[in-house]
Structure 1
Amino acid sequence: MARHAVEANFDGLIGPTHNYAGLSWGNVASRTNVRAVSNPREAALQGLAKMKQLADRGYVQGVLPPHERPHLPTLRALGFAGKDDEVLRNAARNSPLILAAVSSASTMWTANAATVSPSADTADNRVHFTPANLSAKFHRSIEHNVTGRALKAIFADDAYFAHHPALPPVSQFGDEGAANHTRLCSSYGDAGVELFVYGQVAFDERAPGPKLYPARQTLEASQAIARLHGLNDRNTVFAQQNPDAIDAGVFHNDVIAVGNGNMLFYHEMAFLDEDRMLADIGARLTGTELEALRVSNDQVPLEDAVASYLFNSQLLNTPDGMMLAVPGECREIESVSRYLDTQVRSDGPITSVEVFDVKQSMRNGGGPACLRLRVVLNDDELDAMHPGVLLNDALYERLTTWVEAHYRSELRQDDLGDPMLLEEVRKGLDELTGILGLGSVYDFQQ
């Protein structure tokens, strides 16, 4: 008999160095807004408001901390020497692009933080975590150590939780975390089907792949994570992303597909072999039938799906069906807004649509689904985790006050070399770990 379980969402708190450096080749929004002036304070408050809205609706909502940026240990490893201010000024003067990379607030997108397998799926009946190596992008490849520390601090009881190191940081095992992974099930406490979506087969040069933009997730990485998590064939389906979609700016599968419960919501351009994938899921899903909601290119052209981040939305259970939590851009593009209205009026699985303002994140290429890591927890596991990161009214007020005290309202690329910015960041993060009760997770605290 299945145990009662919930799907908790852990959103990344947007960091104080949120800026638009255009670091992500293949992410259209990121490149479009390069060098625009950002507002870190507004970004963080937008993210917190999204979390609060969902917590107020009764969803279990957690917070993951931002990382220390600029990341001086990385600059020192690259040969920048001297005191902290000297390292920053040298990098700003001689290697501004490297400085921009180690200053990125990209850890906000916690869909990339890790892959998580619930205990109902795993051989040892524990929840398994593997931080993503994010090896496709330098600015993200430096995240997994602190991500792993934070996850271990939150999910510390090894009777319930298992933690693995990131995969080898090479292209053959490129891993982008839950942005290319979703889980389908009859209920959260039942054994489910974990759908791993990859962009290329690394060890087969003849296999199809994108021609313009890189495929960030490999089949080999997805298979390795399934092995580490103790999944078997009944729990797993591996499907290739459509290379043409990657070349159109769909850098992660969660930009073109999202699943929840027994429903998979996706664009017709999402998968290379759609029929086989659906059959594989259907053959493994127990206790329910797969509900595949397919959006055609006639209904929503692919470029509109990418521009609006329609599929980078959160699909959430409600008493009356499923709610789709979408970015405001979905109401600014006619084909997408029309499609959403049609869905709500129909007798389909999406019964309501709620708009969230995450514009600061969207300008850097991340919608509501990018901002959250989903962790399925049964009642015992929920009790065993560190409760200090779960959002309630009191924590929301403390975090809002913290952001207003420590974040700038404007940030330009030239500001990243300011030693005062680093001092502000470290002071703020030191206080944040106390608020969240996480202990010393940052390099500067070690």
Structure 2
Amino acid sequence: MQHFEVNFDGLVGPTHNYAGLSFGNVASLSNAQAASNPRSAAKQGLRKMKALHDMGMVQGVLAPQERPDVDTLRRLGFTGNDGDVLAKAASQAPAIYRACCSASSMWTANAATVSPSADTANGKVHFTPANLTNKFHRSLEPLTTGRILKAMFNNSRYFEHHLHLPDNEHFGDEGAANHTRLCQQYGNAGVEVFVYGRYAFDSSKPAPQRFPARQTFEASQAVARLHGLSDDNTVFMQQNPDVIDQGVFHNDVIAVGNQNVLFYHEQAFVDTHSKLHEIESKLGAQMHFIEVPTSAVSVQDAVDTYLFNTQLITLPDGKMIIVAPTECEEHAGVSAYLQELAAGNGPISDVRYFDVKQSMRNGGGPACLRLRVALNDEELKAVNPHVVMNDALFERLNQWVDKHYRDELAVADLADPQLLLESRTALDELTQLMHLGSVYPFQQD
């Protein structure tokens, strides 16, 4: 039986914009008023997906959320027809309105936590959408995310779906951005590493002081229980509060893992060495721990270039490579480090650079754009085939983007009722193209 790790990248939506919504995400805040290019953003993402497909990787596509979120605005008391709701919210509560226009669902690393069948008690692949309670604009996502995931993985013989955790910061869950699975081979039982920022029920424990810790220990434990994971294949590590206060809002901004490799910054974790020993002991195999010292790359440079928000993937020929944003290539120090890393005798043999600047300007690199799902060949056959990248789907999605997306979008444009109509028309066509059914609220009303 063959085993794969499939990357399901988020398709950038037709209302892609820079709203500067995430306190603690430096890149997001710094581009708050800039005009965006939805068409360019979507095509950048599609090109990365197609490139990985061309490398021999199995690559999937995850549909975007509907934005602006008119249903939420109605729940908040804005009335009238859709145009009235948009106009009232934009004029009376512009900050709330911008939050309901957020394009952050493009970062599907936050969509859910996924545990493969080799790890779970019932031998199924488990999905739990992240509740994303720390940020209002992201807390609007999980119900639609759950519907989209069920439409993609719609076979109860192989897949089990859970409701997101309770909508409360005590169980703040940020999905796979704070979760890494390590293993020898994708089909083998692995060790699932949950990285949390704070304890919700014990204020005496260390926690960041400047920026919020979005993932709680209690949430990580809850997801592990839901997925039927055991003590033998889970490790819980705390993210260093100091690096959270330096702008490292998720673990995937300071560490990335793949198979038996963990690539991380020396300041990434609390009690690093004992936790790495625990990982290796539970995995029962030798790990490659690649620690990047501060003297080589500062935390600030790691955040600015998203050195760790890169994809660490294994190609079909067994070679492990890093997929990095061009910002890493353009930074002299980071580029030199990566060049030396790939030229060494370690497990990582190459670095491939991709232009994802529309995403980077909004606060997310290549790793933010993908949700990793380890599958065997039977499970892969059970996935909705219309969401798996191939030459025909790439062509159809590019044509769909050309048909429906604007070249430029300013913050003021988000209140345009015509934009809402354009977006809904595009998404309705997309659900037909990808055979998703009625996953959006406007399709169910």
**Taking structure 2 as the reference length, what is the TM-score of the superposition?**
0.99
Give 1:108-123 correspondences, 5 Å limit.
108-123=106-121
Residue 297 of structure 1 is matched in structure 2 by 294
Helix, strand or coil: the match of 1:19? coil
Candidates 185, 188, 203, aligned match of 1:187: 185
Any conservation in 2 of the 1:183–1:194 contact (CA below 8 Å)? yes
Candidates 355, 366, 373, aligned match of 2:364: 366
Structure 1 ranges of 4+ moved more than 4 A: none
Q: Distance in 2 between matches of 1:34 and 1:90?
A: 22
Are 1:126 and 2:109 an aligned pair?
Answer: no
Any conservation in 2 of the 1:237–1:281 contact (CA below 8 Å)? yes
Residue 307 of structure 1 is matched in structure 2 by 304
Candidates 221, 227, 230, aligned match of 2:219: 221
Residue 332 of structure 2 is matched in structure 1 by 334
Amino acid of the structure 2 residue aligned with 1:222: S
List per-residue Cα deviations over 1:409-441 (Å, max 9, x = no partner). 111111111000000000000000011011110
Structure 1 unaligned blocks of 5 or more: none
List per-residue Cα deviations over 1:343-393 (Å, max 9, x = no partner). 122112111000010000000110000000000011111111111100100
Shift of 1:44: 0.3
Q: Distance in 1 between matches of 2:429 and 2:344?
A: 49
Q: Distance in 2 between matches of 1:344 and 1:178?
A: 26
List per-residue Cα deviations over 1:313-366 (Å, max 9, x = no partner). 000113363110000000121210110111122112111000010000000110
List per-residue Cα deviations over 1:204-262 (Å, max 9, x = no partner). 01000001000000000000000000000111000000001100000000000000000
Amino acid of the structure 2 residue aligned with 1:131: P
Q: Distance in 1 between matches of 2:80 and 2:441?
A: 17
Give 1:73-112 correspondences, 5 Å limit.
73-112=71-110
Q: Distance in 1 between matches of 2:382 and 2:392?
A: 21
Q: Distance in 2 between matches of 1:237 and 1:95?
A: 43
Q: Distance in 2 between matches of 1:296 and 1:322?
A: 21
Are 1:47 and 2:45 an aligned pair?
Answer: yes
Residue 209 of structure 1 is matched in structure 2 by 207
Q: Distance in 2 between matches of 1:290 and 1:320?
A: 16
Are 1:34 and 2:70 an aligned pair?
Answer: no
Structure 2 unaligned blocks of 5 or more: none
Q: Distance in 2 between matches of 1:239 and 1:273?
A: 8
Q: Distance in 2 between matches of 1:124 and 1:320?
A: 29
Identity %: 62
Q: Distance in 1 between matches of 2:2 and 2:428?
A: 36
Candidates 415, 423, 426, aligned match of 2:424: 426
Any conservation in 2 of the 1:4–1:188 contact (CA below 8 Å)? no
Shift of 1:197: 0.1
Note the aligned Cα RMSD (angstroms).
0.7
Helix, strand or coil: the match of 1:152? helix
Are 1:158 and 2:177 an aligned pair?
Answer: no
Any conservation in 2 of the 1:320–1:351 contact (CA below 8 Å)? no
Are 1:65 and 2:63 an aligned pair?
Answer: yes
Helix, strand or coil: the match of 2:358? helix
Q: Distance in 1 between matches of 2:121 and 2:2?
A: 19
Helix, strand or coil: the match of 1:211? coil
